Structures are given as C-alpha cells and as structure tokens.
Structure 1
Amino acid sequence: MAIQRLDNIGIVVADLDAAVAFFVELGMELEGRSPIEGAWAGSVVGLDGMRSEIAMMRVPGGSGRLELSTYHSPDAVDIGLGTAPSNTLGLHRVMFAVDDIDDTVERLGALGATLVGEIVRYEDAYRLCYLRGPEGIIVALAEQLG
C-alpha cells in the first residue's frame, strides 16, 4: 500500500483571523472555515469535550493545503514553540516557493512577520529566508533564480 498524497499540514493558532490574514497575504486561498466538535472529533485527537474552529487554506492551482485550527475547549497549550530556534525538535517550518521574495517579505512584515535571519542566495539557484509569522510559526520562502 502506498501513500496517495500529502493532504494537509495542521497548525494550531490562538488568533485564527490573524493567521488566515497572514496566509492570504502570502497568496493562499481560504477554502473554508468550520467549527469542529463532538465526540467523534475528540476521539480522533484524544481530547474530551473538544471544540475548535478550522480554516482550510490552499495553494492556488496546487494541491498543498494548511489546516489552521484554534481550540475553544480545552484551551490550547503553549509550550513556547513560538520562540523556539530553528533547530528545535518537532515540526520545523512550512516552505513556500514565491516569485518575489523581497515583495513577499515586505507584505508579510506589514502583518508582523519578522526575518529569523537574512535573505540569502544559494548558488545561482535560489534566494531563501525564514520568517516568523503568526504564533511564531516559521515560514520559509524560496525564490527560484533564472
């Protein structure tokens, strides 16, 4: 049996509206928002009395999706990953290919994103950077050269 596809990557955020605005500014499209609750949902994630809301974001014309979630019950747990350095074990970052890295950094900066390091050039192939977005999520950007 083989994997059919990567369906989505889930990210838990405290401010769902801010996270949606950030990823829309990046260029993703909001596919939909929905409350998620009930015994079936709690059974899947292992949380009793779970109530949440999700926003499904998709890459235009592509198959990549992010599921942004906020928890109303039980409250989300903050273990400090939003300020963790790039070499922290666990989910590392989400990377997007962009057509203009400078413009993207500027637009996302207006929403509070900050560079983790610098925009760098990798050989004659890419310009790359890491940004901290909403909730401290590390978003990597890659602009292909030539």
Structure 2
Amino acid sequence: MALKRMDNVGIVVEDLAVAIDFFGELGLELEGRAMIEGEWAGRITGLGDQRVEIAMMRTPDGHSRLELSRFLMPNVVADHRNAPVNALGYLRVMFTVDDIDETLERLRMRGAQLVGDVVQYGDTYRLCYIRGPEGILLGLAQELS
C-alpha cells in the first residue's frame, strides 16, 4: 500500500494566538511556529507570492498534527465552494505517500486535479496539493531519504 500516514490537518485562522490557546486547552501541544514564504511555497499552493505564519500543534500521542495558518499575504477569502488554500476554516488533510508521482497518476484516474506544482522542499520532501471529489483539498508529501 502506498499510503503511509496522515500528516496533519490545516486550518486557516485570523488570530493565530487565540487558535493556539484554544487547541492547547483542548490538549494539543505547540510543536513550533514558523513563517512560510517564498517561491517554493507559492508553487505548492498555486497562490504565487505568499506569506503565511504557521503553528504546528501535536496530539499528545505524537501521531497527528494540526497546522494552524494565518495568511498575511494574500488576503484570506471566505467562500469555500471553490476555496483556494488561503480560505478560513477547514483547509486540507495532508497524507504522506511512498511515491508522489505514482499516487498522482492513480488519483487522476479518479478525477483528482493538481492545484499548483509538485515541488521539492530542501532534501526532505516532495509536496503538492490536489483537488479530489467535490473539490476537497488534499496535500500529498513524499519523504526523501
């Protein structure tokens, strides 16, 4: 089986500090915060030039994560019917797979469409976003090792 695990679920928020506090109270642990920007990030999301502050929250068992994102650029949008990756609320589920190209090939036969490009993040991951059935946004990650 090519699917290895679910990496994280992403949620776009307006107030990152409030969201961190809320999910911390729920029991998730703040794993780290970072600014995500640059050409590589925009190629994954299909948004072009972007600047996003993220906080990664980990479940107590260490197996699952929630990625909270606050888009500084471009502005967020509110309509989820055809929502791009910077819409408020539920964003996408990220899955780690053995082979991103083979997985894309299989999922395209089921109607999946690539959102931006498949890009390489350093020497750790190959990443992409796809739209699945009913426009559901998914992320795929292939670990490079």
TM-score bucket (shorter structure):
0.5 to 0.7
Alignment of 1:65 with 2:55, yes or no, is no
CA distance in 1, matches of 2:57, 2:2: 25
Matches within 5 A, 1:1-146: 1-79=1-79
Gaps of 5+ in 1: 82-90, 92-146
Report which structure shows greater RCO (CA 8 Å, sep ≥6): 2
Higher strand share: 2
- Deviations, residues 58-101 of structure 1 (Å, cap 9, x unaligned): 011230110000100001112279xxxxxxxxx5xxxxxxxxxx
Unpaired runs of 5+ residues, structure 2, are 82-89, 91-145
Structure 1 runs, 4 residues or longer, greater than 4 Å off = none
Normalized against structure 2, the TM-score is what? 0.54
Let me know the Cα RMSD of the aligned residues: 2.0
Residue in 2 aligned with 1:95? none
Q: Distance in 2 between matches of 1:29 and 1:51?
A: 24
Identity of aligned residues (%): 56
How far residue 49 of structure 1 moved from its aligned partner, in angstroms, is 1.3
Q: Which amino acid aligns with 1:10?
A: G
Larger Rg: 1
Q: How many residues of Structure 1 are paired with residues of Structure 2 in the alignment?
A: 83
TM-score (norm 1): 0.53
How far apart are residue 57 of structure 1 and its match? 0.2
Look up the equivalent residue of 1:37 and give its one-letter code.
E
